[in-house]
Homo-oligomer: A and B are copies of this chain.
Amino acid sequence: MSGAPSSWQVIQDQIRQRISRREWQPGEYIPHETDLAAEFGCARATMNRALRGLAEEGLLERRRKAGTRVALTPVRLARFHIPVIRDEIESKGASFQFSVLHRAIAVPPPDVLTRLQTGADQPQLHLQTLYTANGAPYVHEDRWINLDAVPAARDEAFASFSPNEWLVREAPFDGGDFTLSATAATAHDARVLGCAEGEGLFVLNRTTQAGGAVITSVRMVFHSGYAMHTAL
């Protein structure tokens, strides 16, 4: 389907099998790169590529001088695609809309001040936006934009581009963090998202930075029933 697997991928799969079949026990040292390369009849660089991948997945632990061992605790890491709202909605075949419910310039509350790393006397841009799919509420976004970092936002109406898309275009970020959590729908959440008060809602908090400066801090509350999914 997707092309012939390359040599290092084949080798990687073989190694993976030896691990999952317990031919190499957890905690056990496996042969050195050089020996494995000889066994598989490939260059050491190729074997390195295969093993490096497994180490990045957390299946192997490698240390210079010590060697390579099978990880004791297979600490798997899951990859989640961070949603660009429009893409996520349109990829489901639904139509995308948004409306800015609230727009103001004000001093953020303390928790946002901390995240934005701005002063208590510096007003910033506050936006509340509802994104809908086929007209149904999809996610409610409560966003603060650091006007020192993105002064152009002050005069932006967010008519043709949603805050989300506008920022991606105008203020490319190079860092940040995510927090996923849950909350019970408040009366306000319920009204905006069109769900019952008290329902469990999925929440994503996100801060993005560029060159060390925090650009924006956003809290997104998703519609009831929303879930993030990934394969291992």
B82–A172 touching, CB < 8 Å:
no
**A123 at the binding interface (Cβ < 8 Å):** no
Q: How far is the CA of A183 from the CA of B195 in the complex (A)?
A: 13
Interface size class of A (residues with CB under 8 A): 35 or more
Scan residues 163-181 of chain A and give those whose CB is less than 8 A from a CB of chain B. 168-169, 172-181
A184–B203 touching, CB < 8 Å:
no
A78–B200 touching, CB < 8 Å:
no
**A6 at the binding interface (Cβ < 8 Å):** no
Residues of B within 8 A of A203 (CB): 182, 200
One of A16-24, A104-112, A138-146, A154-162 at the interface: A16-24
**Which residue on chain B has the smallest CB distance to residue A79?**
B77
CB distance from A229 to the nearest CB of B (A): 5
Known: A20-B210, A73-B84, A76-B82. A200 touches B177 (CB 8 A): no
**Which residue on chain B has the smallest CB distance to residue A49?**
B49
Known: A80-B78, A210-B20. A200 touches B179 (CB 8 A): no
